[in-house]
Amino acid sequence: MRGVTISSNPFSPNPLRSDGEASRQRLLLAALRLFAEQGFAKTAIREIAAAAHTNVAAIAYYFGDKQGLYRAAFTEPMGSCKNDIALFDNPALTLREALAGVYSGFLEPLKQGEDVQLCTRLHMREMVEPTGAWAEEIDNGIRPYHQALVVVLCRHLGLSQPDDALHRLVFSIISQGVFMFVGRDVVQAISPQLVESHAAIDTWADHLVEAALSMVAHEHTRRQAVAAALQPSKETLQ
């Protein structure tokens, strides 16, 4: 499972959480909301501390500085996709099982509700107001994840090396999951029942697996057709 669930009500009593852990969680949630709404540059650490009902010194204690708090808010709630690789890269898995692992891990954060929407907004803001966090996630999380899925599809398509078409296939498979995040507001406006419960999200994940299987099957057929076309005909050989 990817990500760390952040309680949307950090001020409620929780006997399993120490005061220190509760303070850190309040800071993380307050930072996530403010950074997502205002961006890194326009958000002051005193503003975050006030929203979290704690003091500025707590930010230094738990996160080092504003940059450290931003990195934590950017990565911790949803986690890194690199952590999901183990869900699909086992060679013993069938293609269906591997793709089910891809989407189960990918869509799990959607079950966090409002928190994941804030994370998505923060990630989109980072793309237009870069601090370096997105570049780090690409290198440390997204690239290894992509390469792991490339290996899986190469294995199932019988390829010794990936080519551009294989990379396009991987991006297409992943993009189905990406839409669930960036298009969440659109889905909720048009067909909210599709994402209103954990069961609904699991049903959509099953649908994505079927669609991805169709894409892989099409790519296999396409490659067979190309290979056949390149074979010299019997008349040419005679």
List pLDDT tens digits, range 132-143: 999 999 999 999
pLDDT at 13: 36
Query: In terms of DSSP H, where are the helices of 159-197?
Result: 164-182, 184-190
Q: What is the predicted pLDDT for the residue at 231?
A: 83
Res. 11 pLDDT band, cuts 50 70 90:
very low
- Hey, is 52 helix, strand or coil? coil
Half-sphere exposure of residue 138: CA atoms within 13 angstroms, side-chain side: 8
108 residue type, one letter: E
Q: What is the pLDDT of residue 12?
A: 36
Nearest to 174 by CA among 78, 84, 76: 84
Could you say which of 1.10.10.60, 3.50.50.60, 3.40.640.10, 1.10.287.3510 is the CATH number of the domain covering 19-75?
1.10.10.60
* Domain range list for the chain: 19-75, 81-232
pLDDT range class, residue 145, cuts 50, 70, 90: very high
Closest CA to 1 of 115, 113, 101, 136: 101
**81-232 matches 19-75 in CATH topology:** no
CATH architecture entry for 81-232 = Orthogonal Bundle (1.10)
| Per-residue pLDDT tens digits for 40-91 | 999 999 999 999 999 999 999 999 999 999 999 999 988 889 999 999 999 9
What is the DSSP annotation of 69-111? HHHHHHHTTT--GGGGGGGT--TTS-HHHHHHHHHHHHHGGGG
